[in-house]
Amino acid sequence: MRTTGRDDANCFVENPRAGETTNADVPGGAHGALRGMRVAVKDNVDVRGMRAGAGNPTYLETRGREPATAHAPCVDKVLAAGARFVGKTHMDELAWSLQGENFHYGTPTNARGKIPGRIPGGSSSGSASAVCCGHADVAIGTDTIGSVRLPASFCGVYGARPTHGRVDATGVVPLSHSFDTVGWFTKDAKTLRVMGEILLDPETRDAETSAKIGRGRLAACSDAFRLVDPAVKQAMNAVLSSEGVKRVFKDARGDAMPDAMGIVHLVLSDLALTDKSGERVLPPITEWSETFRVIQTREVWDAHGGWIKEHKPVFGPGIRDRFRAAEIGVDAATMDHHVALRERITNHLDALLADGTILILPAARGPAPAATDYNSEASLKKLAEARSVALALGAPASLARLPCVVIPAVEIEGEPVGLMLMSRRGTDEALLAFAEKLAWVIGLKVP
């Protein structure tokens, strides 16, 4: 990991901005599990005395004009647990990008790996960068279809997206309400688990299925692994077939027979896994992101359309095009089709995971790519291809409202790529505990 100064890293917004207090006015608690740790907060999350700019200067001067009068509950809980607030972080505009490149504020530094200039991923770019660069021990982000998961992979840190609704999203600028979650980054698996204990609502835990996590199947999603670079697939297969992974299962299953251990392989879109009638099928996962896109586009325009029409903000490339498409919208029949398909996907995954199965997917196609050259057709083509794969990998959990954990499991020529673990709704705590044990046995170290 390269050493980068706070100012050079560009992970934090200017502090204080006009009308704000300073960081010194946001103290942490004197005691708690995070005592002494530094927390960074994405700039779409309320921190008392500070403004929420959501990555866009027009938003900052209109909807974000007044400083927040209270912390978002997620911030309040982390501060009460002893963390010390060190700043708000840059993000992609309105959280509607996975790159981490902001047209107005620049690109936060990705300090992992050997090659400078790689993007951090987005939209929680600054939060991942703050942890990656060593300027925060924990960071709060948001994840709609990978905005924590992809930066965690690119920056070689740990990341968690919770079950939708299990972390209070009050005080968070919305993007797409039925997909948005408050997630977090850390530099180690233990702290990732501790953050879950602090943030997750215990009343919404699925205790019955949680007790089965680690004792059910560990299932690699073949259709997801087909989307990634061959070197990534090979490296992850080596990790998953290691003695360390077998040890995790042996410890979890106690007296289970040896042939009950190991990895099974399945096609995530194979409806026959949960519906033996043979009367219905699901589209391949490469098409699930279209269902996400249709529903998200409607929700985004509902949240921000009026503001856009009134204030006419300037957006960067890509994000501008997505807002234009959102304004056009989709017809009722198309929307109804995709809402129904989302429900079928959700029911399928819910049934698939009911026995405590943990699904394994790559968190990214490969290492973080270089910064986008918007004057190069080749660069734009690579960007479109990478975004398509990222959406396909992120869509299953987002559509079905599932928890995910990303651990920095492999390196490709010195560049990190994350492994994503996914389980049933409400089993977040058990999944985080499993990920902590898995990270330990495969020898992952604190960066």
Q: What is the pLDDT of residues 45-56, one digit of tens each?
A: 999 999 999 999
Between the alpha carbon of residue 112 and those of residues 18, 119, 131, 229, 363, the distances in Å are 33, 10, 11, 19, 16
> Minimal CA–CA distance to 97: which of 53, 141, 64, 144?
144
Rounded percentage of the chain residues whose pLDDT exceeds 70? 94
DSSP 63-92: TT-SPBSS--HHHHHHHHTT-EEEEEE--S
Summarize the confidence of residues 302-307 as an average pLDDT. 98
Between the alpha carbon of residue 144 and those of residues 13, 162, 287, 388, 394, the distances in Å are 22, 11, 17, 15, 9
DSSP classification of residue 363: S
Tokens at 172, concatenated: 């968070």
Instruction: With a cut of 60, say whether residue 259 has pLDDT above it.
Output: no
- The span from the CA of 117 to the CA of 214, in Å, is 38
pLDDT confidence bin for 20, thresholds 50/70/90: confident
Query: SS3 breakdown of the chain: % helix, strand, coil, rounded to 5?
Result: 40, 15, 45
Q: What is the pLDDT of residues 188-212, one digit of tens each?
A: 999 999 999 999 999 999 999 999 9
Instruction: With a cut of 90, say whether residue 405 has pLDDT above it.
Output: yes
Tokens at 367, concatenated: 């290492």
**CA atoms within 13 Å, Cβ hemisphere of 447:** 33
Question: Phi and psi of 346, rounded to 5°?
Answer: -60, -45
Tokens at 58, concatenated: 């027009």
Q: For the purposes of burial, counting CB atoms within 10 Å of the CB of 280, is it exposed (0-12), middle (13-18) or buried (19 or more)?
A: exposed
Judged by DSSP in three states, 345 sits in helix
Residues marked as catalytic: 42, 123, 147
Q: What is the pLDDT of residues 211-228, one digit of tens each?
A: 999 888 889 999 999 999
CATH number for the domain whose boundaries are 6-441? 3.90.1300.10
Q: What is the pLDDT of residues 323-366, one digit of tens each?
A: 999 999 999 999 999 999 999 999 999 999 999 999 999 999 99
Locate the domains of the chain by residue range: 6-441
- 310-340: burial string, b at 16+ Cβ within 10 Å, e else: eeebebbebbeebbeebeeebeeeeeeebee
The model's pTM: 0.95
